[in-house]
């Protein structure tokens, strides 16, 4: 196994969009017959805008030429607070490793690359949404459950 961890560029747009759909299907347990056309179009727009403005970093992992995993982090600005005087925040998402490559440290390495990238940008407030499968990895890395956040859906 010869793993390559590649920081994605706009040249990787097709691979990023394709893998995003694969990640969403896996995370949401969606069958292949469920249309993801709109999500695919919007994901392409997102990557074009955010990669060109340095508001997103993505890593792709390959075993030779075969895709095996990915992860991304989005950067955004909120009002400064006492605990985050810069107001800069990072949101990690899209961490995924194909089933036959799991339990080999790939997701940990991707997470480390993403956190390092955020830290190099001066960001100390990093959050993520954890699936049941990813939660042990994130807790081991040092992420803690948030107490006070709420979300309005719809």
From 6-10, 109-113, 129-133, 150-154, the region with the lowest mean pLDDT: 150-154
How far apart are the C-alpha atoms of 126 and 118, rounded to whole Å? 8
> Which residues pair with residue 4 across a beta bridge?
62
The pLDDT, as a whole number, for residue 85 is 93
For residues 134 and 72, the model is more confident at 72
Neighbours of 28 (CB within 10 A): 10
The CATH number of 3-141, from 2.60.40.10, 3.40.50.300, 3.40.630.30, 3.40.50.970, is 3.40.630.30
- Kindly give the residue spans of alpha helices, DSSP state H, lying in the chain: 13-27, 37-52, 106-120, 135-141
pTM to 2 decimal places: 0.91
Domain boundaries of the chain, sorted by first residue? 3-141
């Amino acid at each position: 196994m010869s793993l390559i961890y590649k920081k994605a560029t706009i040249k990787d747009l097709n691979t990023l969009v394709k893998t995003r759909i694969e990640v969403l299907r896996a995370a949401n347990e969606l069958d292949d017959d469920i249309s993801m056309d709109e999500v695919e179009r919007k994901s392409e727009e997102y990557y074009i805008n955010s990669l060109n403005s340095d508001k997103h970093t993505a890593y792709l992992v390959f075993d030779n030429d075969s895709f095996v995993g990915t992860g991304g982090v989005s950067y955004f600005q909120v009002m400064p607070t006492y605990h985050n005087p810069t107001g800069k925040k990072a949101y990690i998402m899209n961490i995924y490793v194909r089933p036959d490559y799991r339990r080999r440290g790939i997701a940990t390495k991707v997470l480390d690359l993403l956190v390092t990238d955020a830290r190099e940008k001066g960001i100390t407030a990093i959050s993520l949404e954890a699936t049941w499968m990813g939660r042990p990895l994130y807790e081991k890395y040092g992420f803690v459950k948030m107490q006070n956040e709420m979300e309005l859906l719809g």
